[in-house]
Amino acid sequence: MPENWTIDRVQEALASKKISARELATDYYERIAARNPELNAYLTLSQNRAFAQADRVDALVGAGKPLPPLAGVPLAVKDVISTRGVRTTCGSKILENYIPPYDATAVERLEAAGAVILGKTNCDEFAMGSSNENSAYGPVRNPEAPDRVPGGSSGGSAAAVAAGLAVVSLGTDTGGSIRQPGALCGIPAMMPSYGRVSRYGLIAFASSLDRIGPFATNVRDVAAVLQIIAGRDANDSTSTTTPVPNYQAEAEKPVKGLRIGIPKEYFGSGMDPEVRKKVEAGIELLRKLGCEIREIRMPHTDYAIAVYYIIATAEASSNLARYDGVRYGLRVDGDSLLSMYRKTRGAGFGAEVKRRIVLGTYVLSAGYYDAYYLKGQKVRALIAQDFRDAFTKVDAIVTPTSPVPAFKLGERTNDPLQMYLADIYTVTGSLAGVPGISVPCGKVGGNLPVGLQIFGPPFGEGRVLQLAQAFENAGGAAL
Amino acid sequence: MKISREDVLRVADLAYLELSESELETYRKQIDEILEYIGKLNELDTANVEPMAQVLTDDQTADATLREDVVVPCKVASEILKQAPDPEPPYFRVPKVIER
């Protein structure tokens, strides 16, 4: 039995009856039992649901019926994405016992495509963080270096796939929360365009930024998962009818002649020199593959973190108003309704969430709205314009994913601003709404993975995957 | 100093968020530092820039905006109520808000 399953290998093994879906799920639960106590990647396991699904797949195999594209594939789902009947905590004490009465559209589609949901993965509370240290259930450890963070906020989803505790997983990305942990754990990780994947059932953090996307061990599997979850959903009015191409076919297209923009602003001070060397080697590899490398300017890059922490906290302060101890989650009694609200929210939310609610409420409050929120929205428009301008000259943009490799647990927890700067290369694409992927681009310091980020134009997932696939095929991960 | 202790108290009150004394001072200091950093946005002249509230363009949202307002029966009402801290089907119960 192969140790490193991919979607293709699962398909072959099931079709040729080398393994059953139930045996495969059992194998993954054994792996989780062995490794999760150390990594803390999973918060909740969904064995009943997983084995029921595996048995459905095995029945199809037994009846000689055609198998759906992800039949039997073990999947992990970030704990901010709703799963019917399976506890969904958002990494927060305020939702410690919350059991969603419905599935997110992405989950429903993946299960309909045959995927086996193993469980829910740890994350920063309400997806707010860059290291997974803001989870109320303890940090996740980086499988490559357990004294270090896996990145965040989708740290559990990244670690689960990197450690072989799931074949693929779903994360969410608001400012870098898929791409950055993908980079730090050394696996491909994709944020699709805003509007490409339905957010229905994704528990909201910042609605104009939140996106669902896949982690996998290879680009082909990223494309396979995206294929299933992409496309219009009547339950999310921001999901678009833009046609969904065949992503695996797009990924196979040759990259010779593609114009790659390298924005000077992403290579300034603050980047680890070893990371810089790897990313430059990655760009050189793309040149050898026949891409045309062009230096470009994206002059508003340096303002992106400031804009992000206005917009994201403002939207969060509004979205998190729903946790009031009335309809779900924790309630702490008080002597009046308002005192119950205050006590519930004070006891249920962790430090980072409270800090962001205070900041977000402040930037929206009377007297400060124009100076902060409106200003932030205007500079966001300038950042989006940087991307539009760039895509009139180049076909894709290549940058580092993170300025540093995985840092040590506890190293940055006392300085929120320093932690926010971990997202310096990823938040730009979040604000602009474009798709981006992080692909492994060698390791530094012996075992710490580096990520290369590839941005495409809106709904240009095919081109992003095409470059990522060529980079992977050419040995980018071993640079 | 960009943000005072009174500002934090006022905002926490707006957000119905109980903060301890130590939280109050810690957040004030940290948020002050963040607002200081955010101040760099004032280097940019944005007088003639339209604010961007969301990313989708008009033609992308033309067919992806509002659905028909059709009444659909909710099949999971009882499951929803089960998640409430203090349900009294078919209601959510809250502490008394009106004195007689």
A365 as an active site residue: the answer is: no
Distance CA A43, CA A49 (A): 16
| pTM for this model (two decimals) | 0.97
Architecture of domain B1-44: Orthogonal Bundle (1.10)
Catalytic residue among A20, A46, A78, A239: A78
Helix or strand (DSSP H, E) at A417: helix A416-420
Beta-carbon pairs below 8 A across chains A and B: 172
Q: How far is CA A263 from CA A56, A157, A259, A425, B25, in A?
A: 49, 29, 13, 11, 40
Task: Name the residue ranges covered by the structural domains of chain A.
Answer: 1-479
A329 near B CB under 8 A: yes
pLDDT at A142: 98
Give the 3-state DSSP-derived string for B37-96, with helices as H, strands as E and coil as C.
HHHHHHHCCCCCCCCCCCCCCHHHHCCCCCCCCCCCCCCCHHHHHHCCCCEECCEECCCC
| pLDDT in 10s for each residue of chain A, 479 residues | 446 899 999 999 999 999 999 999 999 999 999 999 999 999 999 999 999 999 999 999 999 999 999 999 999 999 999 999 999 999 999 999 999 999 999 999 999 999 999 999 999 999 999 999 999 999 999 999 999 999 999 999 999 999 999 999 999 999 999 999 999 999 999 999 999 999 999 999 999 999 999 999 999 999 999 999 999 998 998 999 899 999 999 999 999 999 999 999 999 888 999 999 999 999 999 999 999 999 999 999 999 999 999 999 999 999 999 999 999 999 999 999 999 999 999 999 999 999 999 999 999 999 999 999 999 999 999 999 999 999 999 999 999 999 999 999 999 998 888 888 889 999 999 999 999 999 999 999 999 999 999 999 999 999 999 999 999 999 999 99
Q: CB-hemisphere CA count at 13 Å for B65?
A: 8
In this prediction the ipTM stands at 0.94
- Nearest chain A CA: its distance from B76 CA (Å): 6
Distance CA A312, CA A357 (A): 10
A203 near B CB under 8 A: no
pLDDT at B62: 53
SS3 (DSSP) at A190: strand
Distance CA A54, CA A246 (A): 26
Q: What residues in B contact A325, CB-CB < 8 Å?
A: 85
Distance CA A329, CA B71 (A): 27
pLDDT at B61: 61
- Nearest chain B CA: its distance from A419 CA (Å): 11
Q: Cβ distance A329 to A402 under 8 Å?
A: no
Phi-psi region of A242 (alpha: psi -120 to 50; beta: other; left: phi over 0): beta
- Nearest chain A CA: its distance from B22 CA (Å): 11
User: Are B38 and A362 inside 8 Å of each other by CB?
Assistant: no
pLDDT at B58: 65
Q: What letter represents residue A48's amino acid?
A: N
Could you read off the pLDDT of B6-38 as tens digits, one per residue? Answer: 999 999 999 999 999 999 999 999 999 999 999
Substitution target in A362, A372, A428 with the highest count of B β-carbons within 10 Å is A362
CA proximity to A58, closest of A18, A110, A108: A18
Query: Could you tell me the two tokens for B23?
Result: 């939280």
Helix or strand (DSSP H, E) at A465: helix A461-473
Task: Name the residue ranges covered by the structural domains of chain B.
Answer: 1-44
Helix or strand (DSSP H, E) at A78: strand A74-78
Q: Hey, which residues does A454 pair with through a beta bridge?
A: A398, A437
Q: How confident is the model at residue B96 (pLDDT cuts 50, 70, 90)?
A: confident
Q: How far is CA A415 from CA A92, A420, A422, B90, in A?
A: 21, 9, 12, 46
Q: Cβ distance A296 to A259 under 8 Å?
A: no
Longest dimension (CA), chain A: 70
Considering only alpha carbons, which residue of chain A is nearest residue B79? A101
Instruction: Indicate the residue of A101, A238, A365 with minimum beta-carbon distance to B79.
Output: A101
Q: How far is CA A470 from CA A9, A21, A220, A464, B31, in A?
A: 21, 31, 11, 10, 43
User: Are A326 and B92 inside 8 Å of each other by CB?
Assistant: yes
∠ CA A463-A242-A116, rounded to 5°: 75
User: Are B46 and A307 inside 8 Å of each other by CB?
Assistant: no
Q: What residues in A contact B41, CB-CB < 8 Å?
A: 303, 306-307, 375-376, 379
Q: Cβ distance A261 to A296 under 8 Å?
A: yes
Could you read off the pLDDT of A225-264 as tens digits, one per residue? Answer: 999 999 999 899 899 989 999 999 999 999 999 999 999 9
Number of Cβ within 10 Å of residue A451's Cβ equals 34
Distance CA A321, CA A323 (A): 6
Q: What residues in A contact B11, CB-CB < 8 Å?
A: 358, 361-362, 365
Distance CA A304, CA A427 (A): 6
State CA A473 to chain mean position distance. 23
CATH homologous superfamily for A1-479? Amidase signature (AS) domain (3.90.1300.10)
CA proximity to A155, closest of A139, A144, A166, A175: A139
Catalytic residue among A153, A154, A169, A402: A153
pLDDT at B68: 79
- Nearest chain A CA: its distance from B73 CA (Å): 14
Q: How confident is the model at residue B1 (pLDDT cuts 50, 70, 90)?
A: confident
A177 as an active site residue: the answer is: yes
pLDDT at B78: 92
User: Are B34 and A101 inside 8 Å of each other by CB?
Assistant: no
